[in-house]
Amino acid sequence: MNHRELSMLMIGLLVTSLVTGIVAADPPRPGTEDNGLTENESSTLWSRDADTYISQEEYSQRYGDERTAIHQLANGTDITFKRPPATAATWTRNDFEDLEAGGSDTSVYPPHASLEDGVFIEDAHATVFAVQPSTRGHLESGDTPLYIAPNGTMRGFVDYRVRIPNGSSSGNKTVEWSLTNDEIEEVRLKKNEKTIARTDGSHTPAINYRIDDDWSATLSLEAEIHARLKKTIRIDRGNGTDVTVVYRTESHNVSDSVDVEIYDLSAYPYYAEYPDGDAGVAIFQSRPWQGYTLTDEGNASVRGVWRFYTARNTNWDTLFRSDRTDSATVQSDAIPVYVHAYPSRIGPRAEPVRDGPELIDTWGTDRSSPVGTIGENINIDIINEAYTTTYGVAVRAQNVDREALNVAGIVRGVNASIVEPDAGSERQLRRSNLSVEVIQQNQSQATLRVELRDNQTDAPIALDDSRQYPIGGSTRSGYITIADQRVETNASGVAIVTIDEPGIYTARYHPGSWLGHTPAYVSDSATARWHPLGTIDGWFALLFEVGWQLIPFFVMFYAGKRLLRMLGPEDIFDSNP
């Protein structure tokens, strides 16, 4: 290999190494950094890493260490959660301390930073590092809001470099420049252009905030950078030197913003008591939420369609370091991690599974699958078809402690305030009385009369199953199934059904949710039998049909008998040879 080929190979290896470092940017190996998490906890953070599984033996040979069971599992897949974990915020808070700015002549910034230049201040930026507690919601394509807690912390990164002009010398005149002072004077947090918090100047500000009575907002991190330079002019007069000092100052504001949804929950409960003593409870909330517990011990609970994973913000995988003459890419020592909420194929669940609450109804907004918003290297059980957001969930349980109801949101630490609905939260729940009878029949079909009435007052129950939402409205949803048909009763509580096959027919009332009705009803069933032989006409028809079918046999029998009489035995059998 000649010198030129060797040089080209070295350049190729250098470029490959640089590109690999930039693209791969693998997160730290669990257990190797002191970030407030155990190895098990930190191994669950990296849902955007490449799930390239290696065996325990290979791992031990490569790193000289053993993995925990959770670490081994996370090496081959991504781990999801029933509720938003605290690990993302813990990691981010501790890792943020490793973020270091450059000196006055060097600016450090992530690739997505918005850089600004002034006269002396260059490559200046203020970039949002993380806002927490928060959860990135994956609702559908094009709709991935960042939900933040009403009380939280915004962390940011501010840096810049100061360009000092070159000195000059011409004849008896000499000009020199020097930096006397540079600083970040103040950092402000704004909500929709209004300052809501501020702190002293810092390259790594962490600003606590509180936002009340707001639905959505644009949060801006704004920093004011100040630099003061000294310009010294010397003029040689032969017998002396004249010195003039001029100070030049520059202030520059830089900012970054993020659109957020202020996640402040208010939940609306509805209650009912079943005739057998069971309790019904439903919770409605107009935003995605996690679920609720039914007792003070918290061992009976229900959750909606949402599950959670944690993943790093890949914008911070690498940083640029720029000075007056060059810019280089370096691996970032600080990586923010966020919680993400997604609709799971597992769907709504009530726990304990066997003897816990019974999930009786869910409702919400129909949305398309958000699978396209997840990104690469994330292996989760996200639903890949249209789904319902489960803004409301209703259950039936043996025990419900209304004082202990706890409604948890998809943002860690945010629980809903329980608000009594304007129309009241109590719902009457009564028994229904369903009956079915045969009112008309013939040999080919029968007509059934199905009647549904209030078991307590005997008032007719009229049904209209065209309702879309379970809360409110004047019509009563629900339907009756019989003979593979789905029918609704009229204003008299009656439905007419025609059948053409004999058999035993069971009618069952499927009441709509008790949430929108007072009173509401529980299910009931009734049975009717029909067979054509159950009527005189049926027997007559049967005999007629049987007789009609036997006519050919009677004709053949009669013809054979007459033939025997005409021929006689001697004509048929001749005993003479």
Q: Which residues of 402-424 are buried (b: 16+ CB within 10 A; e: fewer)?
A: eeebbbbbbbbebebebeeeeee
- The token pair that represents 369 in the structure block: 């699958």
CA dist list (Å): 500 to 425, 450, 482, 487 = 46, 16, 13, 17
- Residue 471 to residue 118: CA distance in whole angstroms: 59
Q: What is the pLDDT along the chain (577 residues), one digit of tens a residue?
A: 433 333 333 333 333 333 333 334 468 888 778 888 999 999 999 999 888 888 888 988 888 888 999 999 998 899 999 999 999 999 999 999 999 999 999 999 999 999 999 999 999 999 999 999 999 999 999 999 999 999 999 999 999 999 999 999 998 999 999 999 999 999 999 999 999 999 999 999 999 999 988 899 999 999 999 999 999 999 998 888 999 999 999 999 999 999 999 999 988 898 999 999 999 999 988 899 999 999 888 789 999 999 999 999 999 999 999 999 999 999 999 999 999 999 999 999 999 988 889 998 898 999 999 999 998 899 999 999 999 999 999 999 998 898 889 999 999 999 998 888 776 678 889 999 999 999 998 878 999 999 999 999 999 999 987 655 455 545 688 999 999 999 999 999 999 999 998 889 999 999 987 877 878 899 999 999 987 655 555 545 545 555 666 677 666 766 666 666 666 555 444 444 4
Q: Which tens digit of pLDDT belongs to each residue from 307-331?
A: 999 999 999 999 999 999 999 999 9
Task: State residue 327's pLDDT score.
Answer: 93
DSSP 8-state secondary structure symbol assigned to residue 169 = E
Single-letter amino acid code for the residue at 465 = D
Q: What does the alpha-carbon distance between residue 474 and residue 357 come to, in Å, rounded to a whole number?
A: 29
For the chain, the helix, strand and coil percentages under 3-state DSSP, each to the nearest 5: 20, 45, 40
- Could you tell me if residue 141 is left (phi over 0), alpha (psi between -120 and 50 degrees) or otherwise beta? beta
Rounded CA-CA distance 188/198 in Å is 4
Q: What is the predicted pLDDT for the residue at 470?
A: 52
Q: Which residues contact 358 (CB under 8 A, 6 or more apart)?
A: 350, 395, 396, 397
Q: Could you tell me if 37 and 70 are in contact, meaning their C-beta atoms sit under 8 angstroms apart?
A: no
319: part of which helix (H) or strand (E)?
A: strand 318-322
Where are the alpha helices (H) located in 166-256, listed in sequence order? none
The DSSP annotation for 217-237 comes to EEEEEEEEEEEEEEEEEEEE-
What pLDDT, on the 0 to 100 scale, is given for residue 569?
A: 53
CATH entry, 428-534, from 2.60.40, 3.30.420, 3.40.50, 3.30.390: 2.60.40
- Do 416 and 285 form a contact (C-beta atoms < 8 A)? yes
Of 425, 429, 430, the C-alpha closest to 402 is 425
pLDDT at res. 423: 64
How far is 146 from 335, CA to CA, in rounded Å?
A: 18
Residue 519 has a pLDDT of 86
Cα gap 312→102, rounded to integer Å? 24
User: How far apart are alpha carbons 62 and 66 in whole angstroms?
Assistant: 10
Cβ neighbors of 564 (< 8 A, separation 6 or more) are: none
Q: What span, in angstroms and rounded, lies between the C-alpha atoms of 411 and 513?
A: 29
Q: What pLDDT score does 24 carry?
A: 40
**Quick check: pTM over 0.75?**
yes
